[in-house]
Chain A
Amino acid sequence: MSGLIPIVLLGTLILIFSGRLLAQWSRQSHTRDVTIEDYSQARAALDSVFAETAAIKRIFASEDMEFISQAGTSDVQRFFLKERKRLSIQWVRLTQKQVAHLMDLHLKLASYTYEPSPKSEGKLTVNYLCFILASNGALVLLWLFGPFKAVRIVAYTVRAAEYFCSEFSLRLERTDPVKLSSARQLRSV
């Protein structure tokens, strides 16, 4: 009976992918063909998400929160937190949407090229998946803790990752390759 599971899975996946194809087709009937112009526009749209860098940084600025906690009432604080949370989530979602659109256009245009490289495609897919994972993680953090605490957690994680990376590279630098090779020679004797 356990041998049936992969076959049932195979049949189910075929049905799911067929449904996806149908959904794709219904969307496609409203749109025209993708051109290199659309791709350039999508890149510009992605850049525009970061156009107001100072304003975006302001969403996560802890100074504002400190000011409100000193001067405002609890109602004002709650309203301020709610607004900033909404804005930060909106910004992450907009970035996700623009990146997804760019990847969509990339895949469509890649299908027209003569010699796409499966290796490059694989790398891009991994990069994109990492982005989806990280941005969804950020969304969960923003939703759970709000923008100020979430940024602190992200900053802490980035700092911890940097620390581990530098420790690791230091350890590699300290490793004496001569000693390693002599140890290997001893083992082979």
Chain B
Amino acid sequence: MRDSAFMDTNLIWLIAIALEAAILFRGLRTGLQKRYLLFYCYIGCLLLIEVLRFLCLSLTPNLYSAFYWQTELVRIVASYAVIFEIFKRVLRHNPGVARIAQDLLLVVFVVALTYAASDLLHGGFTSVPRATADLGRYLLYVESAVLLVMLWLFGRYRISFGGNLLGLTLGYSLLVALDVVNLAFLSTPGNESSIGLRKLIPITHLITFIIWCASLWSSQPELLPPAESAIDRDYALLAAKTRAALAHMSTRVGRTLGP
């Protein structure tokens, strides 16, 4: 029974490594690695971590737990590169939203970081692996808060996405959303060694790699902004027009329904 569980884990692991290698290979073939350089660096980093973990488990299994949490921390820090890549690529034709997003994300980052740091300090220091795991978890909380605000802004301003960028963003969102919930459950007392929860992490990663592999398999054309003559860059004028239209509409509805 234990052997079959071990084999399952190994199989998932090997598939994940194969998928990461495939994403990297296709990135090089299609030239997407130039467009999404930070993302491909992250995938390279992941591949290296997975191989090292695999070697560690095979050669020195008693060191694996500590090694896992240390590499997990590196993985979470490296994943900030993906969020930066998404922000940079998605908003490059939308300077207005980029400006608002920059300020908003900075505020969210500082607030979430302060909250996480105070929680981490109050938790007390028990051991190096535990502290590393906690630090990784809190960094993931901060990352997910930033990602949430970014997704909200993309939705609110109806930002256009190309196929590649959409796949990258959706895969990353799935990864962060499920990771953050999973790690939160794992950190609650009594759940630290839950096999079910531990198994869920590699499966989530596997699904994300499949999404990335499918959406980044070929290079799709990027969306171009509308011609300069077709848009108005003056925000004050646009806001005044919309405000006037809403006020005009309210008056007329009031006149129709009112006394």
Contact = CB atoms under 8 A, between A and B. Distances in A.
Interface of A: 1, 3-4, 7-8, 10-15, 17-18, 20-22, 24-25, 28, 33-37, 39, 43, 46-47, 50, 53, 56-57, 60, 95, 99, 102-104, 106-118, 120-121, 123-124, 127-128, 131, 135, 138, 151, 154-155, 158-159
B170 A21 contact: yes
B153 to A, nearest CB: 9
Contacts of B188: 1, 4
Contact of A112 (B93, B141, B169, B259): B93
B235 A128 contact: no
Contact of B173 (A14, A28, A33, A36): A14
B184 A109 contact: no
Q: Majority SS of interface residues in chain B?
A: helix
> Which bracket fits the contact residues of B?
35 or more
B230 A138 contact: no
Contact of A10 (B100, B148, B231): B148
Contacts of B125: none
Majority DSSP secondary structure for residues of A touching B: helix
Given A4-B184, A14-B144, A103-B242, A36 B157 contact: no
Q: Which 6 A-B pairs have the closest CB atoms?
A: A17-B151, A35-B230, A113-B235, A33-B226, A14-B177, A11-B181
B233 A114 contact: yes
Contact of A106 (B145, B152, B242): B242
26 contacts: A15-B174, A17-B173, A21-B155, A25-B166, A28-B161, A35-B231, A36-B232, A53-B252, A99-B246, A106-B238, A106-B242, A108-B157, A110-B97, A112-B96, A113-B233, A114-B96, A115-B96, A116-B97, A116-B239, A120-B236, A121-B239, A124-B239, A124-B246, A127-B243, A135-B253, A155-B259
